[in-house]
Structure 1
Amino acid sequence: MGLEVESRPSDSPYIERVWRSRSHGVSQMMSLAASHWDLVFWEQAGQVSVAVQGPASYASPAPVPDEAVFFGISFSLGSSMPHLPVHGLVDGSAGIPDVTRRSFWLKGSNWHVPDYDNAELFVRRLVRESVLGHDPIVADVLRGASPEVSERTLQRRFLAATGLTRGAIRQIDRARQAAILIQEGVPSQEVIHRLGYFDQPHLARSLTRFVGRTATQLSDPRPPEPLSLLYKT
């Protein structure tokens, strides 16, 4: 009973992570804040659906179709589909039309439905067909580089490529790291010290907004509802 989730990293510069899951007897999960956007496929009762799920600036409860199988590609920061601007998908999603068990329609073309094992091949075709692009400045800054552009230009590029500001991305990622550490049994004071929170209330506000759980709830081995994908980077 619950939500079984499996994920793996990728060697593609366009992919943050590939994941799949299966639901059994669960109707709702807590969807964490996420700085990445996903292309999600799911099947329930023989019906296949596809959607682009945008970044999430806060955690919120989300319905889970029962007895469904999911597969998703979480794209790296800076990767985007120009015909579906990511800034318009923050805290939202866009459904993909004309979906069958084998194919779906995207930017004027018919595409084979990918799976957990061939996601990289699918993404390579997206890039080759100019459906998916990447802003190198965003990737460089996230690696610690200092590009020769103004701060205003940098913020504009981040918003265009990710839908979020650099500050929001840092806050979301830090809260997710904090949640993982707390689930691993690290005391809250140690989490505060490691991740640079000011104090306990600062950590508590961050967890509530971006994870939808308190530190006590994260420590519970049997939570009332499952969390969406939470992984170590």
Structure 2
Amino acid sequence: MPIESDHRGSDSLYVARVWRGRTSGVHQMTSIATSTWELVFWDQRGVMHAAVRGPETTASNAETAGDSASFGITFAHGTSMPHLPISTLVDGGRGSRHVTDRTFLMRGEQWQIPDFDDAELLVAKLVRAGVLVRDPLVHEVVQGGVAPLGSRTLQRRVAAATGLTQGTIRQIDRAREAAVLLGAGVRALDVVDRLGYFDQPHLARSLQRFIGRTATQLRQPDPAADPLSLLYKPEDPARS
């Protein structure tokens, strides 16, 4: 396969998902929209890189490194970095300077690069150092809870912690879930009914905007098409 990947949940309240992947002979992929941000490490031709990648509000074409191995920590809604406002990262990112085989620079400090199995150790260190903070109310609201706050105050807190509005988060996560269901063989009409789309055209527009695929393309993938970036159902894996 040109792209091999797997992912796991986490028992950390700050982490939504930990993933790793490997590409072989792939120079372009479809990067699907995501409502979360992540810390990514990748080895390209023996050189290690590190970057923070923000939420992506639309599907886009992305160049890849051909043959490379990558690893990432996807952070839960409500987790943010005071020194790097997430609003500046939406549909973009920021690379780390002075990356070695074992360390990377963040907030002017050197940190040990973790691996797939011990990512939470790095997260715990970043939390203790104040590099990462968490707004539990934002996580609760995004998961469907009701907040004891006025709508404007809540909107400001969600935007500050995620870089997005609640509506945009819901749209992106619903499209991702629809893509997972269609890929599993669920009929488009059933996806419309299950996820609350108005009709099939509404589903089609959402898929095109956030996933870059039609329902048919998701149910019957074209082996010649650019591969999709990592796709999984947007849920709370620590509690699934």
Shorter chain as denominator, the TM-score bin is over 0.9
Runs (5+) with no aligned partner, structure 1: none
CA distance in structure 2 between the partners assigned to 1:201 and 1:51 by the alignment: 37
One-letter amino acid of the counterpart of residue 227, structure 1: L
Q: Deviations over 1:54-80 (max 9, x none)?
A: 000000011110110000000000101
Distance apart, 1:41 and its partner CA: 0.1
Aligned AA (1:84): L
Which residue of the partner structure matches residue 226 of structure 1? 227
Q: What's the counterpart of residue 149 of structure 1? A: 149
SS in 2 for 1:123: helix
C-alpha displacement at 1:143, in angstroms? 3.7
| Structure 2, unpaired ranges of 5+ | 236-240
More off after superposition, 220-229 vs 100-109? 220-229
Q: Which amino acid aligns with 1:108?
A: G
Q: After the TM superposition, which of the residue ranges 30-39 and 142-151 deviates more from structure 2?
A: 142-151
SS in structure 2 of the partner of residue 104 of structure 1: strand
What residue is the counterpart of 1:204 in the other structure?
A: 204
Q: Aligned partners of 1:35, 1:45: CA distance in 2, in Å? A: 30
Aligned length: 233
Q: 2:122 is paired with a residue of what secondary structure?
A: helix
1:128 alignment partner in structure 2: 128
> Any runs of at least 4 consecutive aligned residues in structure 1 with deviations exceeding 6 A, and if so which?
none
Normalised by the size of structure 2, how large is the TM-score? 0.95
Show the counterpart of 1:116: 116
Aligned residue type for 2:108: G
> TM-score, normalization: structure 1?
0.97
What does 1:1-233 correspond to in 2, within 5 Å? 1-223=1-223, 224-232=225-233, 233=235
Q: How far off its partner does 1:150 sit?
A: 1.0
Percent identity of equivalent pairs: 56
Q: Secondary structure at the match of 1:141?
A: helix
Q: Distance in 1 between matches of 2:190 and 2:144?
A: 25
Q: Distance in 1 between matches of 2:17 and 2:172?
A: 17
Could you list the per-position Cα deviations for residues 119-138 of structure 1 after superposition, in whole angstroms to 9, with x for gaps in the alignment? 01110000000000011210
1:149 to partner: Cα distance: 1.5
Displacement after TM superposition at 1:219 (Å): 1.7
C-alpha distance in 2 between matches for 1:144 and 1:43: 38
Partner letter of residue 188 of structure 1? A
Q: CA deviation at 1:142?
A: 2.6
CA distance in 1, matches of 2:27, 2:220: 20
Distance 1:201 1:122 in 2: 44
| Separation (CA, whole Å) in 2 of partners of 1:148 and 1:31 | 36
| In structure 2, distance between residues paired with 1:104 and 1:45 | 18
Q: Which residue of 1 aligns with 2:238?
A: none
Instruction: Name the Cα RMSD after superposition.
Output: 1.0
